[in-house]
Amino acid sequence: MSNNLGRVAVVTGASSGIGAATARALAADGYRIALLARRAERISVLADDLDNGSIAITADVTDRDSLLAAAKRVQDELGGTDVLVNNAGVMLLGPFTSDQRDDHRHMIEVNLLGAITATEVFLDQLNTDAAERGGDIINISSVAGRTARAGNGVYAATKWGLNGWSEALRQELLPNVRVTLIEPGVVATELPNHITHSETRQGVQKLYSQAEVTAEDVAEIIAFTLSRPRRLAINEILLRPAGQA
Ligand code: NDP
């Protein structure tokens, strides 16, 4: 923990699920956290709870101006960024029909363009701090970034896209900034509750109601990855519930 004192992690989508759990795990490891999400109340309660100088910043990853404002606050109030966790995401599954076209666009804007834009906006801070003590980018992809199936086409496309971009970024930023891709299978979070196609939502919620892997399990893996010595970069972690086919 003492190695991380003074280090700052920016977590997008920190208001619930994997993002909130990651904020808690990294705070326990000594990081101050910039909690980014749209639901201001939730991140503000979490920042108070962490009680370590972490700050809540209302930001929408589809709105570059709100990310620019967030980056300014992180610089001014926390002194810069050591770690960026690109976690914000939506999984609006459903059949590929015109009715779902708004969902398609929204998933691409949040999951893929949101991560790309947040990285572009925070990169100067990551590079500045990396020159001294090393930076990290964690991109939260999915098993759906490796396997596609009927009903998850555009969600899978966003995660496959994230995987390709992430690997190119890794090569561009080494050795000072490490880039790690995390690809979870089913994790018990509220992710399926936002699905707009009702039949699909019910089916996926049923599956998620039996989920055994927790957001805390994933957060622990992220904290472990970040805690490796700077000479070692964990490039990619694919994890599934032991029973997931
Ligand atoms: P949650 O729904 O709990 O978390 C999603 C987070 O993303 C929320 O904090 C939400 O905050 C944030 N978010 C959504 N849209 C935006 C936006 N436009 N701007 C900023 N933040 C946004 O689900 P998970 O924790 O499960 O999901 C986190 C990540 O993990 C996602 O990228 C997801 O694809 C990935 N993942 C999840 C798996 C699972 O089974 N749960 C499996 C594999 C990957 P708010 O609404 O307050 O803005």
pLDDT of residue 2: 47
How many angstroms is it from 90 CA to the middle of ligand 1?
A: 5
Nearest CA to ligand 1 atom 19: 60
**d(CA 131, ligand 1 centre) in Å:** 31
Q: Please tell me if the CB atom of residue 140 comes closer than 6 angstroms to any atom of ligand 1.
A: yes
Using only C-alpha atoms, the chain has a radius of gyration, in whole angstroms, of 17
Beta carbon of 117 within 6 Å of any ligand 1 atom: no
What local confidence, expressed as pLDDT, does residue 134 receive?
92
Structural contact between residues 119 and 86, judged by C-beta atoms closer than 8 angstroms: yes
**CATH number at 2-238:** 3.40.50.720
159 neighbors 148 (Cβ within 8 angstroms)? no
- Look at ligand 1, atom 23, and give the residue with the nearest C-alpha: 191
pLDDT at position 75 is 97
Cβ–Cβ < 8 Å for 134, 177: yes
pLDDT in tens, 164-193: 999 999 999 999 999 999 999 999 999 999
- Please tell me the distance between residue 132's alpha carbon and the centre of ligand 1 in angstroms: 31
- Alpha-carbon distance of 55 to 77, in angstroms, equals 9
Distance 17 CA to ligand 1 centre (A): 7
State in Å: Cα 2 to ligand 1 middle: 30
Distance between CA atoms of 93 and 173, rounded to whole angstroms? 33
HEC sequence for the chain: CHHHCCCEEEEECCCCHHHHHHHHHHHHCCCEEEEEECCHHHHHHHHHHHCCCCEEEECCCCCHHHHHHHHHHHHHHHCCCCEEEECCCCCCCCCCCHHHHHHHHHHHHHHHHHHHHHHHHHHHHHHHHHHHHCEEEEEECCHHHCCCCCCCHHHHHHHHHHHHHHHHHHHHHCCCEEEEEEEECCCECCHHHHCCCHHHHHHHHHHHHCCCCEHHHHHHHHHHHHCCCCCCCCCEEEECCCCCC
pTM of the model: 0.98
Cα end-to-end distance, the chain, whole Å: 37
Residues in the chain: 245
Site to substitute for ligand 1 among 35, 43, 87, most atoms within 8 A of C-beta: 87
What is the domain partition of the chain in residue ranges?
2-238
Tokens of 236: 């990619």
For ligand 1, whether the C-beta of 156 sits within 6 Å is no
Catalytic residue among 155, 169, 170, 184: 155
Active-site residue 31, yes or no? no
Say if ligand 1 is within 6 A of residue 142 CB: yes
pLDDT of residue 3: 58
Who's near 88: CB < 8 A, 6+ residues apart? Answer: 12, 13, 19, 36, 37, 61, 110, 111, 114, 115, 118
Ligand 1 and 152: CB distance under 6 A: no
Give the pLDDT confidence of 130-175 residue by residue, as tens digits: 777 899 999 999 999 999 999 999 999 999 999 999 999 999 999 9
Whether 37 lines ligand 1, by a CB cut-off of 6 Å, is yes
Would you call the peptide bond into 175 cis, given omega within 30 degrees of 0 as the criterion?
Answer: yes
Distance CA 78, CA 127 (A): 16
Enumerate residue ranges in the chain where pLDDT < 70.
Answer: 1-5
